[in-house]
Amino acid sequence: MSYSGPLPTAAQLRQYEEILPGLADRIVAMAERNAAHRQSLEATVVKGNTNAQRRGQWFAFVLAFGIVCVGAWLVYVGRTSVGLWLIMADVLALAAVFLGGRWLAKKEREKRRQDMIGALTGQP
C-alpha cells in the first residue's frame, strides 16, 4: 500500500497504535516537527533572497549615482559630449534592466500559468 503525504492514513495509524501504544502520536509529532523545520528553512531562504535583492538594489543605485556624478563632472569641466553620453548610457542601461526584468517576470508568470493549466487538464 502506498500513500502521498507526510502521514499514513487513519486506518494505518490505528494499526500502528495497536502494535505499539503511543506510536501514532510519535508519528504525528514527527510529521509536525518536519513541517515546522521545512517552514523555518523556507522562511530563511525567503529572507535571504529578500536581503540579497535589497543589497543588489543599493549597489546598483550607488553605481548608477556614481556614473551620473562622473558624467555631470565631465560636463562641468567642459567634456560635455562625453559626460552626456555617459549619463545617457547610464539611464538607458537602468531602463533596460528595469524593463527586461519586468518582461522576464511576465514571461515566468505566463509559464507558471500554462503549467498550472496543463496540470489541471492533464496535458503536458
Break the chain into its structural domains and give their ranges: 10-121
Grid cell of 34 as nine digits: 518536519
What pLDDT is recorded for position 91? 92
pLDDT tens, 7-22? 888 899 999 999 999 9
Grid cell of 47 as nine digits: 529572507
Instruction: Please give the model's pTM, rounded to 2 decimal places.
Output: 0.59
pLDDT tens, 48-79? 999 999 999 899 999 999 999 999 999 999 99
C-alpha–C-alpha distance, residues 123 and 77, integer Å: 64
- Name, in order, each residue with C-beta under 8 angstroms of 73's C-beta and a sequence gap of 6 or more: 83
